[in-house]
Amino acid sequence: MLKTLTVAARDRNRLAEIMRVASRFGLGVLLSRLGLSSTDAGDERDGDGLSLQRRTRLALEELGPTFVKLGQILATRADLLPPQWIAELETLHGQAPVLNFEDLRPFVEQALGQPPEDAFASFDYKAFAAASMAQVHRATLHDGREVVLKIQRPGIRPRMEADLRLIAQLATIVEAASAEARRFAPSAMLRQLAAAVLEELDFTNEGRNADSLRADFAEDSRVVVPAIHWQWSSVTLLVMDYVAGVSPRSAADLRAAGIDPAAIAAVGADIVLDMVMINGRFHADPHPGNLLCLPGNRIALLDLGMIGHVSPRRRQEFLSFLQSLASSDPGQLADVLLSWSGAASREPLRVAAERLVARHGGGRLVLSAVVVDFLALMREEGLTMPPDLLLIFKALVTIDGVLTAIEPNFDLSAAMRSASRRIIAARLSPDHWAPILQAFSWELMKLGDDAPRLLRAAVRRLEAETPMPITAANLVSASRWIAAALVIGAAMLAVALVVR
């Protein structure tokens, strides 16, 4: 099947490389399942005793950042993949060899417009960190502030764009050849992958994400988001404040740094729940490598290239999901599942809801266990979930695992109950209602602007359809209603502006 690919000359070498890697890791079985090979060469385990899941993960890592990103997207699809695949794909990382700074210097000087020695008071030529897409170096500004430079690896963009072109063709073949693979909606997943890749290739997106999250938590001193230095930042270079802290991997390490693990767990839960349920914008991958704990029981949010967004409707649905479990209401839960899955019949969802309520309803809500059972039930019923919803679940389960590791008695369900009060307060605040009132007022104003035209059209319609004449009294009555609408619209607009 792969021989039918129409590959541009510039992409042929990359395709050959992809096939060599797949062959070396013995992925013939997987390619056959996807309809990409007519042979079943290879066994479920290779000569080293590695499972198919492990070999797939290793192959994705070797193929580079585009395929790592594809694997990370697949890791969110527990509604499609069994647990052993999800567990393996969740360990994907984009490690890469460290480049000598002199290989990066021309690109850094082009981005800065000058040598780094002139732009900064000091610059560390030794890499502070390295990943498949970028390398990080530390520096000091002339005012004494410490910063880090995230430098995009040279040549990474054309390589990733070639990968996207090849994967697009593979997705078309897979959809046509494999009924099993069609459940994954490969073309839709490719669009998600392309959007994620192109967004992360532009480092200014990460900078804007940081600015947005910092604004969201401007009133919460417990949250630290590194400031972006835009005068030095561009598409391929991001300069931000350096933050020193302790990764939330070990309670003992936190205590040694004078940080209370229980307090950090409470802060971490508040931050994630506020992002998802109130702000509607959240860190989509809050694993220990992207979080730092600071003195004073504060948390810094790092690596903000991937941000999830939650619509007001989705927030309400998620609240209903949690409330239906807390109140042991399978009917309400089935309604939520129906809206999420788009299933043709409510009956299988009612059965699934009853099973979920029987297992998790009424008591302490262990979110990770709920999500595992929930997605397993959806998988059994052949139903798929919206990607944005799965990203929310993944973020919440990830932070639940992080916080439980440093504070075994941590209870996310208690944190959710506490968050419900903040959600209610946020919805009652003037900041919540001001834009709603303003939008409503503008709609009334537009109605007022259209009123003369609508009135003339109504008069002509009535004259054409009824032998009864239009009386002056009727016109006066209609004009009073229109005038009242204009007055109400103006009043609503005034109220909205005052509240604002």
Which residues are tagged catalytic?
Answer: 285
Distance separating alpha carbons of residues 132 and 70, to the nearest angstrom: 14
Any idea which residue has 């916080």 for tokens? 403
Instruction: List, as one string, the DSSP characters of 36-58.
Output: S-S---S-SB-TT--BHHHHHHH
Cβ atoms of residues 377 and 354 within 8 Å: no
Would you state the structure tokens that stand for residue 286, as one six-digit string?
């809050």
β-pairing, 237-241 with 146-152? Answer: antiparallel
Distance separating alpha carbons of residues 471 and 99, to the nearest angstrom: 86
Cβ atoms of residues 105 and 112 within 8 Å: no
Amino acid, single-letter form, for residue 355: R
Distance separating alpha carbons of residues 377 and 385, to the nearest angstrom: 11
Distance separating alpha carbons of residues 2 and 170, to the nearest angstrom: 8
Would you state the structure tokens that stand for residue 259, as one six-digit string?
């940080």
Cα dihedral across residues 392, 395, 401, 402: positive or negative: negative
69: nearest Cα among 149, 131, 152: 131
Kindly report the number of other CB atoms within 10 A of residue 259's CB atom. Answer: 22
286: nearest Cα among 369, 192, 193, 396: 396
Would you state the structure tokens that stand for residue 448, as one six-digit string?
């007022």
Instruction: List, as one string, the DSSP characters of 346-379.
Output: SHHHHHHHHHHHHHHSSS---HHHHHHHHHHHHH
Contacts of 351 (CB under 8 A, 6+ apart): none
Cβ atoms of residues 167 and 190 within 8 Å: yes
Separation in Å, CA 264 to CA 172, 254, 255: 46, 9, 11
Distance separating alpha carbons of residues 467 and 127, to the nearest angstrom: 87
Residues in the chain: 500
352: nearest Cα among 368, 341, 363, 362: 341
Cβ atoms of residues 98 and 127 within 8 Å: yes
336: nearest Cα among 385, 370, 297: 385
Any idea which residue has 């949010």 for tokens? 301
